[in-house]
Amino acid sequence: MNNPIEKPVTRFDARDEQPEYLTLSNGEAVCFSARSPTKDTPNEDALAVIPVDEQTTVMVVADGMGGMPAGEQAARVIVESIIDACKTKTEQQLIRDVILTGIDQANARILDLKTGSGSTVSVVEISRNHIRTYYAGDSLILLTSSHGTIKHLPMSHSPIGYALECGAIEQTPAMEHTERNLISNYVGSHDMYIHIGPVIELAPQDTLIIASDALSDNLYEQEISDFIRTGTMLESVNEMIRSCRHNMLETMPNRRCHPDDFSFICFRQHS
């Protein structure tokens, strides 16, 4: 087994052909980021896997908002701000406070740019065998068991996400909805807020994925769970990448698939 990573692993304007396998102190991870297959402009996603100490890892995926100026820059600012906050963490600080400080600083920096840019963000803190989620927007966070049970799936900050949560719309019409990609919360907004999830204990072989919305726009959550829950990490995510890319470029029934920048981090704790 390789030695655990000691420095943050990042992706900015990435054009990955293959996912990268990472050994962590508390598990194994795979990360991947590539721009939309139908565009020549920069990849507006950014991500980072940040080792904080022997017990804690922070994972970040930021999805710069398409149609807004400098989405790529906003995503980069978020990831770099969280890395900087983690680097300066003291023994007395809680990792929760460090993450929130990083996001708040990113929000202030993006607003100071005065470019109108913005980005969603999803962060997961992994401490020993527990996780906690932090997010703004509609990037995916999904925790699944080895049996395919989805154990945690936070609500998207979007009109469609709220409708799904209260049962006003079913998953298939939600996937097809023309307003699926409208969001109500993002970093770079004066009204930005961070949704903090509960502390969740990981069971053996639980698998976590954090991804830009390209994944959940082109695959249903249960399909994603079925891809990542068993087998080796690299084999599982390679199959998921192939399926997502196929769906981006093909007309599919019961879903409104579309090409987009595509980034994710997949994590599984050691047995």
Q: Which of 198, 188, 184 is nearest to 104 (CA)?
A: 188
What pTM does this model have?
0.90
pLDDT at site 255: 65
pLDDT tens digits, residue range 27-48?
999 999 999 999 888 999 999 9
pLDDT tens digits, residue range 88-143?
999 899 999 999 999 999 999 999 998 888 999 999 999 999 999 999 988 899 99
Do strands 27-34 and 207-211 pair parallel, antiparallel, or not at all (unpaired)? unpaired
pLDDT at site 190: 93
Helix (H, G, I), strand (E, B) or coil at 223: helix
- Can you tell me the distance from the alpha carbon of 151 to that of 22, in angstroms, rounded to the nearest whole number? 24
pLDDT at site 173: 52
pLDDT at site 149: 94
The dihedral formed by the CA atoms of 155, 23, 262 and 44, expressed in degrees to the nearest 10:
90
Those residues of the chain that have pLDDT short of 70 are 1, 66-69, 156-184, 254-256, 271
- Can you tell me the distance from the alpha carbon of 49 to that of 42, in angstroms, rounded to the nearest whole number? 21
Give just the sign of the alpha carbon dihedral 70, 75, 78, 81: negative
pLDDT at site 159: 47
Number of alpha carbons in the 13 Å side-chain half-sphere of residue 31: 20
All structural domains of the chain with their residue ranges? 9-269
Q: Cα 47 vs. chain centroid, distance in angstroms? A: 8
pLDDT at site 250: 85
pLDDT at site 163: 44
- Can you tell me the distance from the alpha carbon of 166 to that of 105, in angstroms, rounded to the nearest whole number? 33
pLDDT at site 31: 98
Question: Which CATH fold topology does 9-269 show?
Answer: Phosphatase 2c; domain 1 (3.60.40)
